[in-house]
């Protein structure tokens, strides 16, 4: 990587900086497996559903897309719906409660290779931001000891407040770039989700890095990634 050609780097959080994508994945699996079983919905939920319908998207969009894949339509409900209410928001809130339970039980450690890259960008004085669909992003960053490392955080709460469309729309990444005062073509997007890679490509960003945590290199490249790595430390090797 030639980091001198990049004026800012915009990171997704879950699956890029921290292994919390696995926590989200387990929470989705538990929630949908129970709901599908209770209501006789087939076929059963699998990891393929996560990557196809959920990964990287705002929570309620993930619920809606997964249900639609089974021909199921639920009332939208409201964000205040208690977890488990038979609405899109109620199911999404049930998933979020499971995430918080798992994080409290297990904690979170950032990927060492990702921390190395953040360290290097800080040394080079390259501004960085976190752009996450999750409303839990600030809490996860604090738990991982990374809360002070990013000049800008655009999470699900910011997206709602600013009326920004979620990934695969590029709006949240473009908002982060504006806050950093950097043109998209001079910024890099780092994403593990197909929807996030597509958002970076749609936003006209100068570089889109895919991190393969299970989606598959070919899938990420097809979605618009310029390069795919398995660990962000790989991006440091040729820049020494």
What kind and span of H or E run contains 10?
strand 8-11
Question: How much of the chain, in percent, has pLDDT values that exceed 70?
Answer: 98
Residue 237 confidence class, pLDDT cut points 50, 70, 90: low
Taking the C-alpha atoms of residue 143 and residue 108, their distance in angstroms, rounded to an integer, is: 6
Tell me: the pLDDT tens digits for 66-102?
999 999 999 999 999 999 899 999 999 999 999 988 8
Which residues have C-beta within 8 Å of that of residue 135, sequence separation ≥ 6? 59, 96, 155, 156, 157
For residue 196, give the nearest of 182, 213, 178, 179 by alpha carbon.
213
Q: What confidence score (pLDDT) does residue 56 get?
A: 86
What is the value of pTM for the model shown? 0.80
Instruction: Assess whether pLDDT exceeds 50 at residue 240.
Output: no
Structure tokens at 58: 């705002």
Helical (H) or strand (E) element with 129: strand 128-131
- The number of CA neighbours under 13 Å toward the Cβ of 89 is 8
pLDDT tens digit sequence for 159-196: 999 999 999 999 999 999 999 999 999 999 999 999 99
What is the CATH code of the structural domain delimited by 3-19+108-239? Answer: 3.40.50.1000
The residue extents of the domains of the chain are: 3-19+108-239, 22-106
Give the span between the Cα atoms of 240 and 90, in whole angstroms: 49
Fold of 22-106: DNA polymerase; domain 1 (1.10.150)
Catalytic residues: 12, 14
Which helix or strand (DSSP H or E) is residue 229 part of? strand 227-229
């Amino acid at each position: 990587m030639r980091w001198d050609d990049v004026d800012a780097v915009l990171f997704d959080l879950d699956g890029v900086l921290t292994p919390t994508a696995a926590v989200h994945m387990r929470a989705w699996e538990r929630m949908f497996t129970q709901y599908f079983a209770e209501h006789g919905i087939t076929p059963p939920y699998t990891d393929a559903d996560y990557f196809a319908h959920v990964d990287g998207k705002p929570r309620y969009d993930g619920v809606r897309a997964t249900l639609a894949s089974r021909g199921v339509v639920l009332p939208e409900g409201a964000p205040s719906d208690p977890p488990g209410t038979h609405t899109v928001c109620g199911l999404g809130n049930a998933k979020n409660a499971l995430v918080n339970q798992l994080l409290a039980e297990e904690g979170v450690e950032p990927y060492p290779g990702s921390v190395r890259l953040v360290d290097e960008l800080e040394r080079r004085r390259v501004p960085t931001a976190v752009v996450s669909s999750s409303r839990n992003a600030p809490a996860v960053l604090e738990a991982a000891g990374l809360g002070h490392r990013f000049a800008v955080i655009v999470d699900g709460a910011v997206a709602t407040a600013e009326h920004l469309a979620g990934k695969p729309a590029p709006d949240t990444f473009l908002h982060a770039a504006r806050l950093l005062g950097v043109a998209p073509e001079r910024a890099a997007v780092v994403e593990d989700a197909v929807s996030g890679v597509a958002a970076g490509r749609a936003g006209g960003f100068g570089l889109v890095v895919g991190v393969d945590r299970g989606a598959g290199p070919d899938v990420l490249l097809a979605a618009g990634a310029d390069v795919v790595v398995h660990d962000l430390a790989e991006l440091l090797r040729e820049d020494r």
